[in-house]
Copies of this chain bind each other. A is one copy, B any other.
Amino acid sequence: MNEQNTENCEKSILQLRHSLIQSLKAVDQEIISRLNKSIPLISDIGKHLINASGKRLRPLLTLAMAAQFNDNSKKPILLAAAVEFIHTATLLHDDVVDESILRRGKKTANIIWGNEFSVLAGDFLFAQSFELMVETNSIEALSSLASASCKITQGEFQQIQIANKPETSLNDYFEVIGKKTAELFGASCKSGVIVAGGNVEQQNAAYEYGFNLGLAFQIVDDLMDFNNSPNKMGKNLGDDFKLGKTTLPIILAWQKSNPKEKQFWIKTLKELNQEPNDFKNAINIFNKYNIFNECKKRTEEFISKSIKCLEKFPDTIIRDNLIGLANESIERSK
């Protein structure tokens, strides 16, 4: 896919970004001003991470959900900044846990400043996110994001527990990515609707939209590890494979593999005994069983569910763009 096509297939997210540009700028200002108020080293680490993370997708969802109700208050902006802080805190701690070296092509904070400062900076961002939420004065929005934060950590634990286990059940896998990724998407959306005054049915629909979008998003992210397209996530091809991470294509391939192929997965993913050609061999097995297509089908199912939830919202351009954003998220992996 060339740059032109990438832009075409991301039309809705660009439109959304364009129509919410003032609010997005206010979110960035809020983030920077909170970081500047802390001690210099925290501020440096926070800015490194915030600048490295690209799309502000989660804050965009919070703002867009609120914008459907013509909310012009500062509350969605505070929440959107809080959501980005939570996300950034999890990235910082993830990189410590995974001993990562690069994120989006830049050195990780744990490499530049060491594990101890990464742990503490993550703690600061997390605590700061709750200070931001407090300022919205909405205990319901706070509740939604506190619950998501709890589940993220549980998901991270469970992700470690299923690592190097291609025999993991689909149920267990979906539980992990549900907690690790989709919950924050869900809460980002729901909290936006809460502070903008949407009713309970709309709050729940927003959560479901975000949650299903998050599941799709994570599967696409899993696929990108094996997909040689221009990769805007900055992920390196084969990173997950090298670590033996248990992702959707791996699980589906394991289920279909013959004994010889299972031996291959055991050697490469359980024993982490990998030879130069093994990544290519893995892709050959995926192609043999049409795994990429099956992943895509599952992604499309989540996206359909996601879009259906938007029926609860008024017919606005913002809603059209949220539908488009969901559809475009499948294209990311092509």
Q: Are A153 and B116 in contact (CB under 8 A)?
A: no
Contacting residues, chain B, for A134 (C-beta < 8 A):
139, 142-143, 146
A164 shortest CB reach to chain B, Å:
14
User: Min CB distance, A133 to chain B, in Å?
Assistant: 8
Interface presence of A117 (CB below 8 A): yes
Asked if A150 is at the interface (CB within 8 A of a chain B CB), the reply is yes
Most B C-beta atoms less than 10 A away, residue of A41, A98, A123, A124: A123
Inter-subunit contact B137/A150 (CB<8 Å): no
Check B157–A41 contact: CB distance below 8 A: yes
Q: Tell whether, in the assembled complex, residue A130 and residue B146 are in contact, meaning their CB atoms are under 8 Å apart.
A: yes
Q: A121 to chain B: which residues have CB within 8 Å?
A: 153, 157
Q: Does A120 contact B (CB under 8 A)?
A: yes
Q: Does A97 contact B (CB under 8 A)?
A: yes
With known contacts A130-B142, A130-B146, A134-B139, A154–B38 Cβ distance under 8 A: yes
Residues of B within 8 A of A128 (CB): 150
Task: Output the least CB separation between A78 and chain B (Å).
Answer: 13
Residue A149 CB within 8 A of the other chain: yes
Whether A158 sits at the interface, judged by CB under 8 Å, is yes
Shortest Cβ distance from A149 into B: residue: B127
In the complex the two chains form, what is the Cα distance from A122 to B131 in whole Å?
19
Q: Are B126 and A123 interface neighbours, CB within 8 A?
A: yes
Chain B's closest residue to A158 (CB) is: B39
Interchain residue pairs with CB less than 8 A apart (7): A39-B154, A124-B153, A124-B157, A127-B146, A127-B153, A137-B139, A142-B142
Residues of A within 8 A of B (CB): 38-39, 41-42, 90, 93, 96-98, 115-117, 119-124, 126-128, 130-131, 133-134, 137, 139, 142-143, 146-147, 149-150, 152-154, 156-158, 160-161
- A-B pairs, 9 with minimum CB distance: A127-B149, A97-B116, A130-B146, A124-B153, A127-B150, A134-B143, A123-B153, A131-B146, A120-B156
